[in-house]
């Protein structure tokens, strides 16, 4: 009787690391199985092809390029990993994967003691994984529902943020502008626009104001107060101020000869 070949030391944890979920099925790569069975990947696949009737699509199937690319990203499979055609420097076809039923069938095809013993451990691993999934069904359901709720919340939040940012982009206007000597009308139009948008009060610090200034303030909303800080030599008369207040209350004009005083009045309004 020939001496039995040594079987590699296997553990459930090691085998579990070689089980992947593809097309919603738990499968193992042909190269990983060949490594466990101590045969070449090409030899394993040739044995399968000779017994093709034993390996329907739910037992064994070949990965698409997209599936292989996704798998490589997940587990870092090398493009030159174990090949079925090593003479050309690497595998020239996408790998085959085997479901639990296909793996069970492999032992009868390979007809080796090692394959039979390894398959026992693989079957035990699949049983352990099924038992774990069955015992934690409620947990997996909860996690799935939680992830769906999180995704829905994130999508709704993103949509709301987009609405806010779109609104800001559409309604944001510069509060400060620099106008050059030739842009008299632009400056005048900008000033009127600011006055018409004020909701509570307007403060103007200008050493030179006149009746034209008050004409601009007639564009303000009802109830908006106006405080003007200017120099005594301004061309506004008490009569101008009184007439304005009769129709567009309330206007207050403060006079002072010191520019520093005018600046301090502005600061005090906001402290």
CA distance 61 to 165: 49
Fold of 12-135: Mlu1-box Binding Protein; DNA-binding Domain (3.10.260)
pLDDT band at 1; cut points 50, 70, 90: very low
Compute, in degrees rounded to 10, the torsion defined by CA atoms 141, 146, 148, 149.
140
pLDDT band at 97; cut points 50, 70, 90: very high
Look at residue 121 in the predicted model and tell me its pLDDT: 86
CA distance 37 to 32: 9
Question: 7 — phi, psi (to 5°)?
Answer: -95, 130
pLDDT > 50? residue 268: no
Find where tokens 């696949």 sit: 45
| Prediction pTM value | 0.47
Domain ranges of the chain: 12-135, 137-172, 184-269
Here the tokens at position 57 are: 């699509």
């Amino acid at each position: 009787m020939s001496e039995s070949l040594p079987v590699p030391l296997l553990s459930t944890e090691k085998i579990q690391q070689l089980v992947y979920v593809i097309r919603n099925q738990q499968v193992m790569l042909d190269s990983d199985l060949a490594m466990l069975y101590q045969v070449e990947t090409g030899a394993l696949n040739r044995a399968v092809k000779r017994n093709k009737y034993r390996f329907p699509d739910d037992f064994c199937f070949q990965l698409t390029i997209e599936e292989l690319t996704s798998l490589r990203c997940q587990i870092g499979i090398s493009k030159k990993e174990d090949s079925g055609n090593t003479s050309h420097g690497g595998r020239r076809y996408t790998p085959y994967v085997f479901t639990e039923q296909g793996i069970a069938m492999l032992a009868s095809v390979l007809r080796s003691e090692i394959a039979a013993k390894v398959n026992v451990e693989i079957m035990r691993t699949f049983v352990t994984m099924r038992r774990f999934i069955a015992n934690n069904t409620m947990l997996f359901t909860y996690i799935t529902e939680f992830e769906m709720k999180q995704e829905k919340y994130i999508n709704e939040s993103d949509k709301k943020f987009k609405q806010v940012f779109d609104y800001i982009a559409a309604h944001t206007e510069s509060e400060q502008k620099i106008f050059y000597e030739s842009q008299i009308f632009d400056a005048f139009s900008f000033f009127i626009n600011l006055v018409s948008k004020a909701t509570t009060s307007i403060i103007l610090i200008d050493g030179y104001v006149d009746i034209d200034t008050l004409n601009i303030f007639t564009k303000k909303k009802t109830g908006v107060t106006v405080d003007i800080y200017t120099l005594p030599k301004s061309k506004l008369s008490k009569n101008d101020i009184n007439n304005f207040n009769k129709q567009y209350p309330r206007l207050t004009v403060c006079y002072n000869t010191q520019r520093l005083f005018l600046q301090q009045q502005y600061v005090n309004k906001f402290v």
